[in-house]
Amino acid sequence: MLDTRLSEEQEHLRKTVEDFARKVVAPVAAHHDSTATFPYDVVRQMGEMGLFGLPFPEEYGGMGGDYFALCLAIEELARVDQSVAITLEAGCSLGAMPVYRFGTEAQKQHWLPLLCSGQALGAFGLTEAGAGSDAAGTRTTARLEDGQWIINGSKAFITNSGTDISGGTTITAVTGMRADGKPEISNLIVDQDAPGFTRSKKYKKMGWRASDTRELSFVDAKIPEGNLLGKRGEGFIQFLKILDGGRISVAALSVGLAMGAYDEAVKYSKDRIAFGKPISKFQAISFKIVDMLCEIEHAKLMILKAAWEKDQGRPFEMSASLAKLYSAEVSRRVVNEALQIHGGYGFMDEYPVSRMYRDQKINEIGEGTNEVQRMVIARMLGL
């Protein structure tokens, strides 16, 4: 039965990550945001703590935890720094998860210990300039020649793909035509040093500035035939499954951000004096804070339910999409009100709420926009 209380082990993990987030991540978050620099030292420590291996078995260097454990860690990191939290989310659910779920034993043995320890960062390249929500519109091609895949095309907005510690990027590519005349899509693991594979400079972004996001280009890029992930032609179904799970951890990213904005709003409202008293004493402000907490608690329960269903091996797709959609919209409402509570100071970069406001928007776009979530849910409802 679904239990809303954290077990002793889960609470220990949550507290450990919370302490780490407050002592190590938060003090450098504004610096990495303003300089758009990747937080190598923070990520190295996250690797040492085993965070990148949380949902993977110990035999591959993981922590033997479950998806909910990953969500707890993401929430606590997102509470103080979205860039760090997305680095973990993308590293685990987009980078390592495809290899774990669909890779051969040899691929798992090679990649997972590196990815779980944080020595290498994983990435997943699905989006292209002309294929975002319409992800099946992949134009990148790969043809098999003399035991090698020759890849041509490009990918847009790929998280974790160009840091000094980035490992392989799994990409979708058209590898032929199916009998029904539709493109055959397969997933391929592209080694970082594959000839013909280049990464652009980091994009200049409105938010998630410290996280690494690049455009990838393939000009007759060559990788070994054995880098095919799973079976040829199963790339489409594989990425749909990966995105289903990813929606839960992205929901955790949103709710973590909302929790962080809530923390800042509570703190500020108690400190800020107007008309002779702390603004928290004005009902207009305290009611905003109560409404924030209601929505956060609601979103957290939705994430818990989706993760529990997934960890139990039950159908979880509907709960995951609902949690992703709702949490993304909650994060928008909460961060907006948190900034409002800060008045003019919220508009100034010295207050974390300003960074949170910028970081929030992508939560309604990445890994399936709000519109796409509604489409997916409507389809599941048979509408």
Ligand X SMILES: Cc1cc2nc3c(=O)[nH]c(=O)nc-3n(C[C@H](O)[C@H](O)[C@H](O)COP(=O)(O)OP(=O)(O)OC[C@H]3O[C@@H](n4cnc5c(N)ncnc54)[C@H](O)[C@@H]3O)c2cc1C
Q: What are phi and psi of 368, to 5 degrees?
A: 105, 110
Residues 6+ apart with CB under 8 A from 41: 28
Closest CB to ligand X among 166 and 213? 213
Q: Confirm whether 264 is a catalytic residue.
A: no
| Shortest distance, position 373 Cβ to ligand X, whole Å | 9
| Shortest distance, position 281 Cβ to ligand X, whole Å | 39
| Shortest distance, position 293 Cβ to ligand X, whole Å | 28
Closest CB to ligand X among 10 and 369? 369
> Given the DSSP bridges, would you call strands 166-177 and 121-125 parallel, antiparallel or unpaired?
parallel
How many whole angstroms separate alpha carbon 50 and alpha carbon 38? 19
CA distances from 10 to 52, 96, 247 (A): 16, 22, 21
| Shortest distance, position 169 Cβ to ligand X, whole Å | 9
Closest CB to ligand X among 101 and 205? 205
Residue with CB nearest ligand X?
Answer: 132
Q: What are phi and psi of 154, to 5 degrees?
A: -155, 160
Residue 313, helix vs strand vs coil: coil
Q: What are phi and psi of 128, to 5 degrees?
A: -130, 170
Closest CB to ligand X among 201 and 314? 201
Which residues in this chain contact ligand X in the complex, by CB under 6 A?
90, 94, 123-127, 132-133, 157-159, 205, 208, 213, 362, 365-367, 369, 371-372, 375
Closest CB to ligand X among 90 and 307? 90
CB 295 within 8 A of CB 334: yes
Report, in this order, helix, strand and coil percent for the chain, each rounded to 5: 55, 15, 25
- The catalytic position among 18, 309, 367, 371 is 367
CA distances from 254 to 22, 88, 305 (A): 18, 14, 16
| Shortest distance, position 95 Cβ to ligand X, whole Å | 9
Please identify every residue annotated as catalytic: 367
